[in-house]
Amino acid sequence: MDAEREWIAGYTEGRPELEPASNPDGEADVWRVCVGGRPVAFFKRHRSSDKWHRERWMLRRLADLDTAVAIPTVLADREAPRWLLLSALPGVVASTATFDLDQRRALHEAAGRFRRDLDRLPMGEPDPLPLPEALTRRYRSWSKQARSTLEPELLQSLERAFDPTVFDRDARRWCHRDLAPHNWVVAASADGIRLGVIDFGQARPDAWLVDIVKLWSDVWVSAPDLSASFWAGYGRRPTDHEQAQFRQLALLHGLATATWGDRHTHTHFSRHGRATLRRALDPRPRSPCG
């Protein structure tokens, strides 16, 4: 890490010390940068050039966007080794802390406002592939991989339920694609608590409702009332048509999660993916509203 530490030292005051901070299931290597025992930044080394470019682009555009959510600042970047030096947001990660009900509602309302803010980000490039075709490709890729491990009844039910035509004529929007409490940093403020959002490594243009899937399949299962706070922040609830679109995204998320878990012998993801699939396949109404 000598080369990395020397590079980081050019952007910090004092000798930087690096502490591993990677998610074991993440797609990038991350270190907490401390000076004098105090965290001052995060150093991120992407494995994918595409993800490095998209995260850098996203953070720079969000810096110019009027949003109440705290976002890391790109302090420095280097393309050849795919390095990013990002400011450290004050606070604690929401998934590791305890909040009362009013605070949880406030956080989900702030997350809804952030999703609305993302709607204002310009695409900056033409949509290269219509959403129905893109989602069909995802479905075919994951279902092919799932044939050796996923239960046949689930695969058959999924094949009958999958219908990407509900996305006809819909355009992509910029999405975080991992918008959940493990990527929320919460700090005290004069108004109570302030939400920060981190880890834009999966960010890219997509169907905007993809940013709701992880909330619906996890935290809203045990606390469905929090969805009302999210949609209050967003400014409206999904239409009936959008709810039909959401079901397709939930199906794909369940399939991808279960298949990834099976391939990597990750029991939690295998179980969670199957639970999400069955919930999305349930004939009773299953909306992103809780």
Q: Which two tokens stand for residue 258?
A: 């279960």
Average pLDDT on 153-165 reads 97
CB-based contact 236:91 (threshold 8 Å): no
Q: Does the pLDDT of residue 192 top 90, yes or no?
A: no
* pLDDT tens per residue, range 215-255: 999 999 999 999 999 999 999 999 999 999 999 999 999 99
118 burial level (CB within 10 Å; 0-12, 13-18, 19+): buried
Query: Cα–chain-centroid distance for residue 93?
Result: 14
pLDDT tier at 117 (50, 70, 90 boundaries)?
very high
Residue 217: closest CA among 282, 273, 166, 268: 273
3-state secondary structure of 150: coil
CA distance 111 to 228: 12
Q: Does the pLDDT of residue 190 top 90, yes or no?
A: no
3-state secondary structure of 77: strand
- For residue 286, the model assigns a pLDDT of 60
Q: Does the pLDDT of residue 290 top 70, yes or no?
A: no
Average pLDDT on 201-209 reads 94
Sign, CA dihedral 243-277-141-182, equals positive
CB-based contact 83:7 (threshold 8 Å): yes
Q: Residues near 46 by Cβ (< 8 Å), separated by ≥ 6?
A: 27, 28, 52, 55, 82, 83, 84, 201
Q: Does the pLDDT of residue 103 top 80, yes or no?
A: yes
Average pLDDT on 154-177 reads 96
Amino acid, single-letter form, for residue 84: L
Mean pLDDT lowest among 27-41, 58-72, 114-128: 114-128
Q: Which two tokens stand for residue 214?
A: 């992880």
Average pLDDT on 61-71 reads 93
Average pLDDT on 195-206 reads 95
Amino acid, single-letter form, for residue 44: K
- For residue 26, the model assigns a pLDDT of 78
pLDDT tier at 288 (50, 70, 90 boundaries)?
confident
Q: Does the pLDDT of residue 285 top 60, yes or no?
A: no
Residues linked to residue 39 through DSSP beta bridges, in sequence order: 34
Mean pLDDT across the chain: 93
What percent of the chain stands above pLDDT 90?
Answer: 87
Q: Does the pLDDT of residue 156 top 90, yes or no?
A: yes
